[in-house]
Chain A
Amino acid sequence: MMSLIAAILILVLASALQFWLAGSGIFLNLIFVTLIVFAFFFDFWEMAMFVLFGVLVVNWQPAMSLEIFLFAFLPLLTFALHNVFRSQRWATIPIAIVCEFFLFYVIIAPRFLLGDPVAFFEDLFVSLMAGGLVFLALRRINK
């Protein structure tokens, strides 16, 4: 229960930071990366709740979109696959983040990825750092 409450706080903090930065024109995917890391620590129903919370706060229109579908689907895909590599979380989490960000960008806006690769790598770099922090926090709490 302790780790669940901590995870909720981490997710709210990531949301607050993402929206605060977006208000200044800096768009990062902190909620998305937090959900990817959570996939390595929580069970299905906990993940479902986190993902639904993410969808509620990230969705910008009263309708479904490809972006929101991927935003929800990719962390759940990570969850489905994470048991294969569970023993090497410190290594698989960064790989999962890189793969899912690449998929996210390629599927939604391949031209954006080609036209502005620097923006992609900036987003990825910050997300890897944020993912590392979330991983360390959850590992400490779960000890």
Chain B
Amino acid sequence: MTRERRSNIVLLCGLCIVLVLFILFAPSYGWKFRQFFAASNLFSPDDQNIAAENEVLKAELAQVQALQSQLPTAFSNDIRAMVYSRYPFNFKNELTVNAGLDQGVATGSTVFFQGVLVGQVQSVSRDTAIVQTVFDNGFKMPVRIGMKGYDGLLQGSSYPIVGSIAKSSIVNAGDIVYAAGPGFPYGIPIGEISATSTSADSLFEQASLNFAYDINSIQTVLIQKQP
């Protein structure tokens, strides 16, 4: 082995050790690297805020008209968290946020953006949490649609759909879809119906959704504190 080759190996070993230390003790540098290269937002923050606010108002209106006795409670002690990182492959849709057990986050906590449901905390460590979003293939929850509160089942995917809508339901584009599942505060808006169609088995209606935010560009979320 030549002297130059030996010194190269020593240098590479040193670099490997530095990288291992970063992976184990300072993974946030990797996340910062990713954020640096992430595309600029397709939606501007203002657009997202206005769209989210609009959905919240629509959901409130739908509940006032259809479910007067079950108005949602306001969330006063939510935890604001920054989105550190995102699941890098196309199998899941998860966010890593910078709040964990120390900040009062618990598994199952509801996560939202400007009052619109984003997902649910799936696992928690001391100071970070993993959030399963409504865009994850494994995400499913009962929902209600529009002023009449028609029942449906939200199925997460890159393009989430609401399925199992009774054929007698009158669902139109623009109707608000809000949460009605166990473990979620009742009435949190999720999105708006963009189009409807008949399911593959022709037994139900199904609907695609428009969202008030771009999941790939949101930088902060609110996590509902567990009582």
Name the residue in A55, A108, A123 with the highest tally of chain B Cβ atoms < 10 Å from its Cβ: A55
Q: Is the CB of B75 closer than 8 A to any CB of chain A?
A: no
Inter-subunit contact B16/A48 (CB<8 Å) = yes
Q: How far is the CA of A52 from the CA of B125 in the complex (A)?
A: 23
Asked if B89 and A27 make an inter-chain contact with CB atoms under 8 angstroms apart, the answer reads yes
Q: For chain A, residues 23 to 73, give those with C-beta under 8 angstroms from any C-beta of chain B.
A: 23-25, 27, 29, 45-46, 48-49, 52-53, 55-63, 67
Whether B87 lies near A60 (C-beta < 8 A) is: yes
Say if the beta carbon of A77 comes within 8 Å of chain B.
Answer: no
CB contact between A56 and one of B9, B13, B29, B90 (< 8 Å): that residue: B29
CB atoms of A61 and B90 under 8 A apart: no
Interchain CB contact under 8 A, A52 and B87: no
Q: Which residues of A contact B27 (CB under 8 A)?
A: 56, 59, 61-62
Residue of B nearest to A31 (CB): B88
Kindly state whether residue B200 has any CB partner on chain A within 8 Å.
no
> Which one of B12, B38, B85, B137 contacts A46 once the chains associate, using CB atoms below 8 Å?
B12
**Interface: A133 (CB within 8 A):** no
Provided the pairs A48-B12, A108-B89 are in contact, do residues A19 and B37 lie with their beta carbons within 8 angstroms?
A: yes
Inter-subunit contact B91/A109 (CB<8 Å) = yes
Set B15, B29, B86: member contacting A22, Cβ < 8 A: B86
- With A57-B33, A57-B34 already in contact, the answer to whether A49 and B87 are too (CB < 8 A) is no
Q: Is A20 an interface residue (CB 8 A)?
A: yes
Q: Is A119 positioned at the interface, with any CB of B under 8 Å from its CB?
A: yes
Select one of A25, A49, A119 contacting B19, CB under 8 A. Answer: A49
Docked Cα-Cα span, A27 to B92, in Å, equals: 11
Contact B89 A57, beta carbon cutoff 8 Å: no
A113 to chain B, nearest CB (A): 9
Q: Which of B43-97 contact A (CB under 8 A)?
A: 85-92, 94, 96
- A132 to B173 Cα, complex, angstroms: 45
- Is B158 within 8 A of A58, CB to CB? no
Complex Cα distance, B216 from A117, in Å, reads 23
A112 to B91, CA, bound (A): 7
Q: Of residues B9, B13, B33, B215, which shows the largest number of chain A Cβ atoms within 10 Å of its Cβ?
A: B33
A residues lining the B interface (CB < 8 Å): 1, 15-16, 18-25, 27, 29, 45-46, 48-49, 52-53, 55-63, 67, 108-109, 112, 115, 119, 123
B binding-site residues for A, Cβ under 8 Å: 8-9, 12-13, 15-16, 19-20, 22-23, 27, 29-31, 33-34, 37-40, 42, 85-92, 94, 96, 125, 128, 130, 137, 158, 215-217
19 pairs from A and B in contact (CB 8 Å cutoff): A15-B34, A22-B88, A23-B38, A25-B158, A29-B89, A46-B12, A48-B16, A49-B19, A52-B16, A52-B19, A52-B23, A56-B22, A56-B30, A58-B30, A60-B85, A60-B94, A62-B128, A112-B91, A123-B90
